[in-house]
């Protein structure tokens, strides 16, 4: 399976929840609710030494080692809602998009790195994006981006040293927060470790855990700290509803071999919605999707939705360009197909499963992806992708 941004997973639609995973989840959510109710009244140090308006939260780069704090800045910068908050106007959109493309060029590959390396790479990209925002728009935009970053991090932003200092959190509060988040992570880890059944419910569990964390931590802050924190976060936005949180799509690495010489560049498809799929012609699961790709091409191209295939070899026969092109013609592919002879695109996209379909919006941002057969055991992945693609035509 592929790890998704902010700690969630894309699960195969055939996965079902497990009793054990749900039991772990229910027990921990109940523990957090009780903790919030009982600990809110005890032993918290009031932060009354300095008036609220005399304190300034001086934002710092999120240290990669703070693994319990999600890295959310890039998602806020990628999102349409976030860019609106920053004041990204239509005239600078293309230049800003290009900046994000360069800063996050390897984002798709970072998904598969060990956690430490992943966080270090993302931290470097965050620094680059902040610098670009400051250069193009100014310090006020950077400050707003930081506010959105903290809002998206939820209660876990309280673990950031500059936030703890700003709020004057006591050792007792810090200890309670650390225990809360540690228990959350342990429970989530148990659910995720259950395999398919656990991962199928991971995203929903994560959302409930974060909400419970916020409720508990709110009770543990004094009224003065809560007021100060609200001021620091600025105008509240429902960041969990932000839709465009993934990066600009990596440009295709042209091997020079295309089906019927119909080559394309993603940058030239700006204004179109692109359904980019990776496949291998001897892959049984890939064959199950072929009719869907053809249907998409026939039914959606006149609407502005373009299908592009990338054949990446798994077997020796699939490294034979002649056999690859013959198989594509036999399958009736009328859309562009790039023969990824050296797996350069497979690596650039961080793809780990045949088949995988990516949805790219009209500005070139990755919006979602589906791994595996689109109609596996009654799944309706094809329809989900079609609905998303059609929505993106008017977005």
- List pLDDT tens digits, range 112-122: 999 999 999 99
Residue 333: C-alpha distances to residues 100, 257, 290, 298, 310 (Å): 33, 15, 8, 10, 12
Q: Which domains does the chain have, with CATH numbers?
A: 5-241 (no CATH), 259-393 (3.40.30.10)
Q: Classify residue 187 by burial, with Cβ atoms within 10 Å: 0-12, 13-18, 19+.
A: buried
**Of 174 and 43, which is predicted with more confidence?**
174
**Calpha distance 326→82 (Å, rounded):** 46
- Strands 305-311 vs 356-360: parallel, antiparallel or unpaired: unpaired
252-311 pLDDT, tens digit per residue, is 999 999 999 999 999 999 999 999 999 999 999 999 999 999 999 999 999 999 999 999
Residue 287: C-alpha distances to residues 276, 307, 327, 371, 384 (Å): 16, 16, 11, 14, 19
Residue 58 CB: number of other CB atoms within 10 A? 8
**Calpha distance 259→335 (Å, rounded):** 8
Of 24-28, 73-77, 130-134, 172-176, the range with the lowest mean pLDDT is 24-28
Percent of the chain as helix, strand, coil, to the nearest 5: 55, 10, 35
Q: What is the pLDDT of residue 205?
A: 82
Nearest CA to 185 among 361, 42, 67, 44? 67
Taking the CA atoms of 149, 151, 153 and 157 in sequence, report the sign of the dihedral they define: positive
- Rg value, the chain, Cα: 23
Q: Are 304 and 271 in contact (CB under 8 A)?
A: yes
Nearest CA to 262 among 318, 222, 308, 314? 308
**Calpha distance 377→198 (Å, rounded):** 19
- Can you tell me the mean pLDDT for 176-180? 95
Residue 359 is given by DSSP the state: E
Query: What does pLDDT average to over the chain?
Result: 86
Query: What is the pLDDT confidence band of residue 41, given thresholds at 50, 70 and 90?
Result: very low
**Calpha distance 335→275 (Å, rounded):** 11
Residue 355 is given by DSSP the state: S
Q: What is the pLDDT of residue 203?
A: 74
Distance of CA 318 to the CA centre of its chain: 31
Residue 48 has pLDDT above 80, yes or no: no
**Calpha distance 183→50 (Å, rounded):** 33
> In the chain, what percentage of residues exceed pLDDT 70?
84
Residue 147 has pLDDT above 50, yes or no: yes
Q: What is the pLDDT of residue 194?
A: 56
Bond from prior residue into 355 cis (ω within 30 degrees of 0): yes
The dihedrals phi and psi of 367, each to the nearest 5 degrees, come to -110, -25
Q: What is the pLDDT of residue 195?
A: 54
Q: What is the pLDDT of residue 198?
A: 52
61-90 pLDDT, tens digit per residue, is 999 999 999 999 999 999 999 999 999 999
Helix axes 284-300, 381-393, angle to 10 degrees: 30
Strand partners, 277: 309, 357
The dihedrals phi and psi of 288, each to the nearest 5 degrees, come to -65, -20
pTM: 0.82
> Between vectors from CA 269 to CA 262 and to CA 357, what angle results, nearest 5°?
80
> In the chain, what percentage of residues exceed pLDDT 90?
76
């Amino acid at each position: 399976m592929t790890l998704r941004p902010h700690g969630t997973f894309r699960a195969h639609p055939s996965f079902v929840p497990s009793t054990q995973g749900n039991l772990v989840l229910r027990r921990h959510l109940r523990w957090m609710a009780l903790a919030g109710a009982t600990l809110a009244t005890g032993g918290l140090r009031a932060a009354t030494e300095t008036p609220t308006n005399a304190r300034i939260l001086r934002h710092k780069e999120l240290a990669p080692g703070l693994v319990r704090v999600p890295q959310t800045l890039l998602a806020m910068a990628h999102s349409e809602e976030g860019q609106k908050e920053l004041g990204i106007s239509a005239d600078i959109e293309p230049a800003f998009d290009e900046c994000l493309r360069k800063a996050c060029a390897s984002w798709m590959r970072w998904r598969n790195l060990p956690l430490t390396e992943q966080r270090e790479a993302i931290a470097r990209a965050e620094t680059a994006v902040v610098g670009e925002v400051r250069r193009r728009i100014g310090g006020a935009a950077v400050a707003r981006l930081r506010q959105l970053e903290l809002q998206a991090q939820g209660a876990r932003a309280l673990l950031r040293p500059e936030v703890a200092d700003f709020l004057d959190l006591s050792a007792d509060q810090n200890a309670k927060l650390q225990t809360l988040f540690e228990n959350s992570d342990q429970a989530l880890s148990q659910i995720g470790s259950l395999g398919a059944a656990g991962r199928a419910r991971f995203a929903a569990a994560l959302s409930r855990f974060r909400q419970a964390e916020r409720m508990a931590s709110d009770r543990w802050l004094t009224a003065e700290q809560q007021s100060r924190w609200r001021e620091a976060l600025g105008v509240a936005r429902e960041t969990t509803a932000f839709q465009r949180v993934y990066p600009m799509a990596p440009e295709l690495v042209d091997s020079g071999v295309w089906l019927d010489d119909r080559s394309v560049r993603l940058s030239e498809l700006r204004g179109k919605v692109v359904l980019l799929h990776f496949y291998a012609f001897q892959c049984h699961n890939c064959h199950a999707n072929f009719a869907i790709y053809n249907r998409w091409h026939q039914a959606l191209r006149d609407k502005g939705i373009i299908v592009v295939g990338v054949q990446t070899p798994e077997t020796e026969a699939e490294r034979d360009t002649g056999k690859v092109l013959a198989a594509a013609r036999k399958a009736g592919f009328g859309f562009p197909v790039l023969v990824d002879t050296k797996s350069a695109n497979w690596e650039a996209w961080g793809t780990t499963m045949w088949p995988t379909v990516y949805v790219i919006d009209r500005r070139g941002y990755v919006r979602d992806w589906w791994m595996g057969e689109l109609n596996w055991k009654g799944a309706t992945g094809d329809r989900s992708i079609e609905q998303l693609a059609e929505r993106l035509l008017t977005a």
